[in-house]
Structure 1
Amino acid sequence: MMKKVLCYWKLFVVVGMLLSRTIEADEPLVGTAERPLRIALLSGSGEYESAVTLPVWKKKLEAEYHVSCDLLQAEQEIRIDGLERLKDADLAVLFTRRIKMPVEELGPLKAYVASKKPIIGLRTASHGFQSYLEFDKEVLGGNYQNHYGKGEPTTIKLIPEAKEHPVLKGVIRERPWKSEYSMYRTAPLAEDCVPLLMASSPAADREHPAAWVRESEGRRVLYATLGGRTDFDSPEFQTLLINGVSWSTRIPLETLKKP
């Protein structure tokens, strides 16, 4: 009798696995024409004009890649409606600055963080929500401690040891380049962060990481201190961003890119 039960149980398991694979096979791949990658863009950094740059980037992404973007625009850095739509996103891109929402209204954002889905943070995302400042250390792996004097440009250079990282593919430059925006104090990073770019400034006494990636508990994160309006005009920054979308979601660019 026991042998029959075991046989039936094994048969049940095998059939279940086959059905599961059949269902999965019927589902279109994410990042294709049949199932575009869903990206939530959280915009709310008035100082760096995210309301100007993110809509332009959204248009570019949707024109060139199998991507569907949901742009959530904050109201005067006071609140950002529609956070509940994060539950449908495959990737969240945060470019907000000290949004003054009560912590109890950030439930959808914290639920997204808990889901371990990928995240990209730009510039002020390290202090994107005033009631959720721990996001910087806990999720991004950063250590934002304000910035050096305004008016001093930042010099950006690649870290030689990181030049083979997929996020830097096509970003390789022999010489550093300039960002007109002030340099952030970001060091030291969490131990599991991998710095990609370093920043220096005449106003600073040392270099600080300007971009890094992090893999933690199955989630991939990219953060860059870049993100001002003129940064978006830089081919290097644009390449870094789309590489970051591909790397963080584990979808090859060849799959994402439209014919």
Structure 2
Amino acid sequence: MKPPVHVLFPVGEKGGATRDLLKASNQPNFYTKIYNRICKKCNEPSIGIRCSNCGEKTSIAHICPTCRASLNSTFCEKCKKNTSSHSYQPFPLKKKLMLIQKKIGIRAQEPFKGVKELINKEKIAEPLSKGLIRQGFGLTVFKDGTVRFDATNSPLTHFKPKWIGTSIEKLKELGYTHDKNGEPLSDPNQTVELRMQDVIVPIQSGKYLVDICKYIDTELEKFYGRTPFYNVKNIEELIGHLVIGLAPHTSVGIVG
């Protein structure tokens, strides 16, 4: 996204030109257009299905546009109008930011960038925790919630080990035992034929993927209370892993 953002949370004009959530949180009364989720126990708005304060399940308030009644239905029988599941409402942003920083163990840095407004139909925002973890690893988010690295695809049929910074031993583990002439692989200057579904990614992409792995593991542990999955510490640990190639506007991937 341009400009890049850390979290899909609407900050409006309160965050200034950088849409800084920290700046917006210092406003005495912060309002935002967001999904009407509320914790009835704490009596305050919530982003998630469960309240970040007490852990209780939150409920959705459907507001009638005419009488402004808060209902459990998508239709107001009194006014004969469809209700709305989102509204412009006060939100305790400063309190929520303080809470997640303590829970995650990462301090937000200025600017902690959100979006001006949400474009999804129900105005459902991302949990602030996800943005905080992204910022901690220098990552940003796309409008669909994915983390992306832009690179130009280039057809490649052959390579030399010295070009890609991969050892002869590691290449042999992956099945690259001979060069294009059928000679045993022993020298980093030998030319090797790239297998049909293998890919070679830029070094900066590799570094970015390591940070994404760390982001997902931290999210699993700190946000979802699960065990880390990747446990990746450097680029070398990514060599040989499976990837999925997915063309735009399709729903079928090719494993490589």
TM-score (norm 1): 0.22
Answer with 1 or 2: which has the greater Rg.
2
TM-score (norm 2): 0.22
* Higher fraction of strand: 1
